[in-house]
Amino acid sequence: MRFWIGIDDTDSSKGMCTTYLSVIIMEELEKARMKVEGFPRLIRLNPTIPYKTRGNGAVSFLVKGDLQEAYEITKNCMETYSMLEDEKTNPGAVFVEVNNKAMNYLHNFAVKAVKDVVSMDQALFIIGKFMIPHIKMKLGRGLIGALASVGLELYDYTLELLAYRKPERFGTERDYDKESFFRADSETYPLTWDTVDWHNDVVVAVPSSPDPVLYGIRGDSLEAIERASKIVITEEVDKRQFFITNQGTDMHIIDENEVNEVENYHSYRLRGTVVEKPYDIEGGHVFFTIETKFGRIKCAAFEPTKQFRDVIRKLEIGDLIDVYGSVKRETVNLEKINVLNLAEVYKMENPTCPVCGKKMESAGRGQGYRCRKCKTKAEDKIKVKVERSIEEGFYEVPPCARRHLSKPLVRMDVEKKHVFR
Ligand SMILES: [Zn+2]
């Protein structure tokens, strides 16, 4: 029998990781002479869901074997390893036979779980209607991600190699050679990306959370990721696993043409004209407003987006841009922008003397302007075009501020782009 196992919400901010638990389950299944076919899938869901504080990632994998036995093994592993004491951790797992008609429903369900908000009732409805064997622990909210990870079709996908630590090292500081990650990036970019952030001098591949992950290398090429993983120097790797993912695909982005309104907790591409100049608030966050077909919408580049804010600060009233990002509190949290058309900006200056070419001075209130030396005169200030210090094209947040789902420009086939690396 062939069936998908989907699993989600087993971890907490204090530890564990659903990908790691999945690796343990896959090992146990293989010990029981079952076969895991292909790579497991790491599916990132709507990143704005309020009760999810971490990456909101669910895992699924295809198994050939006995479903009842796989169910027992999975349940044992979940009971042993899930962070059940954390109130926000509500694990769920599903077991969906490949020929179950539920698969047709799950494709749409999954897209909704990535772009929109799905209720527990909708998950339980599908489970009931198609009699899907499942494991529901505590509130069982993980059933939503478990179903979605099974159902999502990956028209675009990327890869991630996750390396895990020795269990006795969990919670301690990660021991690794920073420079080796920069070298791995130099030698494999752009087939791998977001391993490091050169500008901000950060190793992005190594998390700082207390979970079992030692590092994760992302990219589009299995071979390049393998090569990068051989370059990096770290403490001992206990387990490693490739995942097929929807990371770096922009799958969470809803195009403005698909909807009639902009709602909180959704992510969009919106076109608009800048109507309020960017301004800084305390903490280094930058805000501005655009006029879209849905009305005026506030946009934000928060402090962690670093040098991306310098691009935003150069926007002027009248610039036509596309913004990409999640809407929270009626504000777009920018992930990238595409500057489509720069407005012509003018400033008023004192006129120039036609004889000596120097700037004229004011001749007194209401008296116009004059050149003291040549005695030339002029009535009014003149309009001078300001040279813009920003170009058209795409700009993105740096790797250290990238969302899992955001498509990095290095993966985008567009003509004008300004990659932060
Ligand atoms: Zn003059």
pLDDT, tens only, 56-87: 789 999 999 999 999 999 999 999 999 989 88
DSSP 3-state of 194:
coil
For ligand 1, the distance from its centroid to the CA atom of residue 11, given in whole angstroms, is 75
CA 102 to ligand 1 center in whole angstroms: 84
134 and 171 both lie in a single domain: no
In a domain, 142, yes or no: yes
Res 151 pLDDT > 90: yes
Give residues with Cβ within 8 angstroms of 19, minimum separation 6.
40, 42, 57, 59, 162, 213, 241, 243
For ligand 1, the distance from its centroid to the CA atom of residue 360, given in whole angstroms, is 7
Enclosing domain of residue 282: 255-342+389-418
Q: Where are the alpha helices (DSSP H) in 270-415?
A: 308-313
Number of domains the chain is built from: 4
The rounded Å distance from CA 375 to ligand 1 centre is: 7
In-domain check, residue 116 = yes
Both tokens assigned to 76: 């044992």
Instruction: Please state which of the ranges 8-12, 122-126, 220-224 shows the lowest mean pLDDT.
Output: 8-12
* 13 found inside a domain: yes
Residues 119 and 23 in one domain: yes
CATH number at residue 406: 2.40.50.1010
Percentage with pLDDT > 90 across the chain: 91
CATH number of the structural domain spanning residue 215? 3.90.600.20
Q: Kindly give the distance from the C-alpha atom of residue 388 to the centroid of ligand 1, in angstroms, as a whole number.
A: 29
Q: Report residue 159 CA to chain centroid gap.
A: 15
Q: Are residues 382 and 411 in the same domain?
A: no
DSSP state of 305: G
- How remote is the CA of residue 366 from the centroid of ligand 1, in Å? 20
Q: Which of 151, 166, 183 is the last residue of a domain?
A: 151
pLDDT band of 51, cuts 50, 70, 90: low
Do 314 and 233 share a structural domain? no
- Cα–ligand 1 centroid distance for 345 (angstroms): 27
Residue 110 falls inside a structural domain: yes
Q: Give yes or no: residues 11 and 140 share one domain.
A: yes
pLDDT, position 55: 67
pLDDT in tens, 164-209: 999 999 999 999 999 999 999 999 999 999 999 999 999 999 999 8
The answer as to whether 86 is a domain residue is yes
Q: What pLDDT is recorded for position 206?
A: 97
Q: How many A from CA of 370 to the centre of ligand 1?
A: 8
Strand partners, 102: none
Give pLDDT tens digits for 327-380: 999 999 999 999 999 999 999 999 999 999 999 999 888 899 999 999 999 999
Last residue of a domain, one of 101, 136, 151: 151
Whether 53 shows a pLDDT value over 60: the answer reads no
Whether residues 217 and 142 fall in one domain? no
Specify whether 335 is located in the same domain as 397. yes
Does 15 share its domain with 37?
Answer: yes
In whole angstroms, give the CA distance from residue 233 to residue 298.
44
The predicted pLDDT at position 15 comes to 83
Q: What is the pLDDT of residue 16?
A: 85
Position 250 in a domain: no
Tell whether 31 and 115 lie within a shared domain.
yes
- Ligand 1 centroid to Cα of residue 361, in Å, is 10
Q: Residue 355 C-alpha to ligand 1 middle, in angstroms?
A: 5
Do residues 351 and 380 lie in contact, with contact meaning Cβ atoms separated by under 8 Å? yes
Q: Is residue 50 within 8 Å of residue 255, measured between CB atoms?
A: no
Residue where a domain stops, chosen among 151, 183, 212: 151
Are 211 and 241 members of one domain? yes
Beta bridge partner(s), residue 271: 322
Sequence-separated (6 or more) residues with CB below 8 Å from residue 244: 38, 39, 40, 41, 42, 154, 157, 158, 159
Same domain for 358 and 315, yes or no, is no
pTM (two decimals) = 0.92
Q: How far is the CA of 376 from the centre of ligand 1 (A)?
A: 6
- Looking at residue 92, which CATH number applies to its domain? 3.30.70.2200
d(CA 185, CA 231): 9
108-113 LR contacts (CB < 8 Å, sep 24+): 108/151, 109/147, 109/148, 109/151, 110/43, 110/147, 110/148, 110/149, 110/150, 110/151, 110/152, 110/153, 111/152, 113/45, 113/46, 113/144, 113/145, 113/147, 113/148, 113/152
Residues 272 and 414 in one domain: yes
257 closest CA partner among 308, 207, 292: 292
